A and B are shown apart, each in its own frame.
Chain A
Amino acid sequence: MTITTDHSQAKADGTHSHGLVSTPPNKSRASRPHSFDVAQFPMPTGREENWRFSAFKTLTPLFAEEPATGHLEWTTSELPAGVTLADVDSADAVARSVQAPGDRASALAVKLSGGAKVLTIAPGTVVDEPIQITMNGTGGDVRGHVLIESGAGSEATVVIERTGTATYSEFVSVNVGDNAGLNLVMLQLWETDAVHAGEVTARLGRDSRLRGSVVTLGGKVVRLNTTAAFAGEGASVDLFGLYFADSGQHHEHQLFVDHAVANCRSRVTYKGALAGASARTVWIGDVLIRAAAEGTDTYELNRNLILADGARADSVPNLEIETGLIEGAGHASATGRFDDEQMFYLRSRGIPEALARKLVVRGFFADLIHEIGVPAVEAGLLRAIDLELEHVND
């Protein structure tokens, strides 16, 4: 067994804090309530553990139990045989969700969405081409409930792209069947005034593989709370995240990997860049290794690159271990300023400042982008990052 805690590159400027400090040791991540009953989640104050880093004021409308009138326009690529997209009513949607919502915003999203969209990949279906879904907002309040069901033994890639603008809360249930492989890519490419709070909960069946990539570039506030829970042995999850916050943007990514059963593997790799004085990012990575989860192999990593004075990145890794009989568990977190020496080195070779910055930031994200595994998305991301860099310090 190895347990590693690598904070060697963390800067002691308040941008990194250790999990043991932030979570009272007697309160496990697993003790948080889950319910479809909104009444189980009193109106938050912003001081709760799961909201205290959030852009709470901007998210407030998502805690109100009022009907939402807007909607997102869904556009999908042509669905291959064995893949269907359907609407189901509330009762069905609740019954088919892998877990109940974990906070007030997502409980309300389920209650007020009036049913769910269900993307189903039939058992045994193998799809080579990515399944593309675009959700475009045209303004207004929107509540959403989405189910993704990968049948046993299926293999597919699903790319969900969010564009336009909305004040949107959602609950996404992902059910990865036994021995299924799902590559799920969620792109938050909202316009700059969008507000988005999402809870994504994945259940992994025996021997299943989930590769979940999250890319957050747009929006005024984006808060994604992702859970991956192992339900069967031999499963593996890779969670990748890339965020790039400019001035006025608040990007928050919370993660929870629940090793409830034995012999599962998890990797969490999130990287963020902050450009602009009021750019703000939050990364909270919780990993729980329950007593039954012998043979667990887990590692989580968060890196932040601060490109402008005044930007703030919070990074909070938490590791709870209830059994010593594991393969390995570790985490690493580091937040660094843009490296002047790298810039000098590149510029001393004739490379102009803007291009040098582009090279360094592309380099920072390069390995992560190549993990997404969808060539069109990877190429688009490199272009998007170049665009972001054109207005650094604006």
Chain B
Amino acid sequence: MSTLIITNLHVTVDTPEGTIEILKGVDLTIESGQTHAIMGPNGSGKSTLAYSIAGHPKYTVTKGSVTLDGDDVLAMSVDERAKAGLFLAMQYPVEVPGVSVTNFLRTAKTAIDGEAPKLRTWVKDVKGAMEDLRMDPSFAERNVNEGFSGGEKKRHEILQMELLKPKFAILDETDSGLDVDALRVVSEGVNRAKQNTNAGILLITHYTRILNYITPDFVHVFIDGKVAEEGGPELAERLETEGYDRYLTTA
């Protein structure tokens, strides 16, 4: 059982117009096996939260803490955070020309486990996970994210989640730009990974549609860099009918 605790997190980003505070005191606690949905309008800071936890250099944490089972995540380098058990499925995964998916997956697995995976079981694991995500075997020989369609990129992110077995996975708008079929396949992958590893999930989304496939235990509404309201799955249903206007007019 693991716990990820975010306490009073303040994050700024440097822009040509100056430094802007995007997160203004975020508190959040996630336990293994829990799914937390973070919802909110564009620009509310949802993705900033994801990238700040993962350690993207663009974001500066000015106040607050993030701990994983008591360990200071903010003191870790980007790769140390991954080794500690954090995973970020990105909204816009980056192309890495000349590096095959096979090579990339094996390198990442080796780095995270501290030793190379046993070849036979690894090949089987990769093949099985790809089949489950309805990915063509030829995918493995392609270069990472190069020429991938939107759906292929998201499947590839979830493939990594299934194989790297993180303690906590942050899914940054994994549902954006997916048609219903792809959304179902990707959601099944997330549910499978969670079932297999009892990972905690931080599901960042703009839409409620993915919540038909992945049931959250908690829903947090993000407005202007803070959690404006928290509740159970019923809160998502309310957002579906009412939208975010209610928060924006009172904000």
Contacts and interface: CB of A to CB of B under 8 A. Distances in A.
Contacts of B82: 347-350
A394 interface: no
B79 A363 contact: no
A342 B94 contact: yes
Given A345-B94, A359-B96, A365-B98, A340 B57 contact: yes
B99 A363 contact: yes
Nearest to A340: B57
Contacts of A360: 96, 99
Nearest to B51: A344
Interface residues of B, number: 29
Contacts of B111: 349-352, 355
Contacts of A364: 97-98
Interface residues of A, number: 24
Nearest to B78: A347
A215 B146 CA distance: 26
Chain B CB count within 10 A is highest, among A339, A350, A359, for A350
Interface string B81-107: 111000110100111111100011001
A343 to B, nearest CB: 8
B98 A363 contact: yes
Contacts of B93: 345
Interface in A323-362: 339-342, 344-353, 355-356, 359-360, 362
B56 interface: yes
Nearest to B92: A341
Contacts of B107: 351, 355, 359
B79 A347 contact: yes
B99 A349 contact: no
A359 B99 contact: yes
Nearest to A356: B79
Interface in B39-86: 54-57, 77-79, 81-83
Given A344-B56, A345-B90, A359-B107, A350 B97 contact: no
A109 B89 CA distance: 59
Contacts of B94: 339, 341-342, 344-345
Contacts of A339: 94
Interface in B19-36: none
A350 B87 CA distance: 9
B112 interface: yes
Given A344-B56, A344-B78, A363-B143, A351 B96 contact: no
B79 A350 contact: yes
Chain B CB count within 10 A is highest, among A349, A356, A365, for A349
Interface string A344-388: 111111111101100110111111000000000000000000000
Contacts of B57: 340, 344
Contacts of A345: 90, 93-94, 96
Contacts of B88: 348
Contacts of A352: 79, 111
B143 A353 contact: no
Contact of B78 (A348, A359, A366, A367): A348
B108 interface: yes
A349 B107 CA distance: 9
B164 to A, nearest CB: 7
Nearest to A351: B111
A351 B79 contact: yes
Nearest to A365: B98
Contacts of A346: 96, 104, 108
Contacts of A341: 94
B98 A367 contact: yes
30 contacts: A339-B94, A342-B95, A342-B96, A344-B78, A345-B93, A345-B94, A345-B96, A346-B96, A346-B104, A346-B108, A347-B79, A348-B55, A348-B78, A349-B160, A349-B164, A350-B82, A350-B111, A351-B111, A352-B111, A353-B77, A355-B107, A356-B79, A359-B96, A359-B99, A359-B103, A362-B99, A363-B96, A363-B99, A366-B98, A367-B98
Given A342-B96, A350-B83, 4 more contacts: A347-B77, A348-B88, A353-B77, A364-B97
Interface of B: 54-57, 77-79, 81-83, 87-88, 90, 93-99, 103-104, 107-108, 111-112, 143, 160, 164
8 shortest interchain CB distances as A-B pairs: A363-B98, A366-B98, A350-B82, A349-B108, A350-B112, A347-B78, A350-B111, A345-B94
